[in-house]
Chain A
């Protein structure tokens, strides 16, 4: 069965520092991969997605992610974090090679110190 692991439950960084959130997936074929962000009391907002092609994907709010098939990873990065980036981040894989049955990781909560 497909699965997604986000090893870090909680990460704290200082404003202006770089950020990398880890995501490992288990899926037999080429996966559809997503990163979503959830602010308190709100729904999930899509940051970026990978379906095929260039393995470095650019998203909104200055985020990017790199698909590494050999490591089954899809880590999210940002070169300089802003206080408004504090939220919970979810990685997801399309369980049937599409966007319908998404399997989500448990999330990583990001705290940004001033």
Chain B
């Protein structure tokens, strides 16, 4: 079975540029999550969707960050403009919303902003 697929795996860009991270959840899963992992702050939930609708975006750090889920099989996390402090590993996870279901994580995108 295909897991959560994220692209790109690595991204290096200069500050001020727009960055778009992509995620394909596991087929049949109707909840999707975006996390950021840094040494200082650990794993932080940025936003999550149920049935393609954003439910909680309280973890999104600033207006420079935005996330969309146009359909059940695709989501993007966009940073515009990017800053060096956005450098981190960004994870996408998906889950079948319901009782007693765990989240399944992708392999992440390692983002470096120069």
A residues touching B (Cβ–Cβ < 8 Å)? 34, 36, 41-46, 49, 51, 90, 99-102, 104-107
Cα of A45 to Cα of B106 in the assembled complex, Å: 9
- The answer to whether A107 touches B42, judged by C-beta atoms less than 8 angstroms apart, is yes
Instruction: Name which residue of chain A comes closest to B105, CB basis.
Output: A43
Residues of A within 8 A of B26 (CB): none
Cα of A44 to Cα of B95 in the assembled complex, Å: 13
A102 with B107: in contact, given A43-B4, A43-B91, A90-B43 (CB under 8 Å)?
no
- The answer to whether B102 touches A99, judged by C-beta atoms less than 8 angstroms apart, is yes
Can you list 10 A-B pairs with a CB-CB distance of less than 8 A?
A41-B107, A42-B107, A43-B91, A45-B105, A46-B102, A46-B103, A49-B100, A100-B48, A101-B56, A106-B42
* B83-114, CB < 8 A from A: 91, 93, 95, 97, 99-108
Chain B contact surface mostly: strand
Residues of A within 8 A of B43 (CB): 44, 90, 104
Residues of B within 8 A of A43 (CB): 4, 91, 93, 105-108
Cα of A107 to Cα of B39 in the assembled complex, Å: 10
Cα of A68 to Cα of B101 in the assembled complex, Å: 21
Most A CB atoms within 10 A — which of B102, B106, B107? B102
Instruction: Name which residue of chain B comes closest to A92, CB basis.
Output: B43
Kindly provide the distance from the CB of B109 to the nearest chain A CB, expressed in whole angstroms: 10
Most A CB atoms within 10 A — which of B4, B93, B100, B104? B100
Cα of A41 to Cα of B37 in the assembled complex, Å: 12
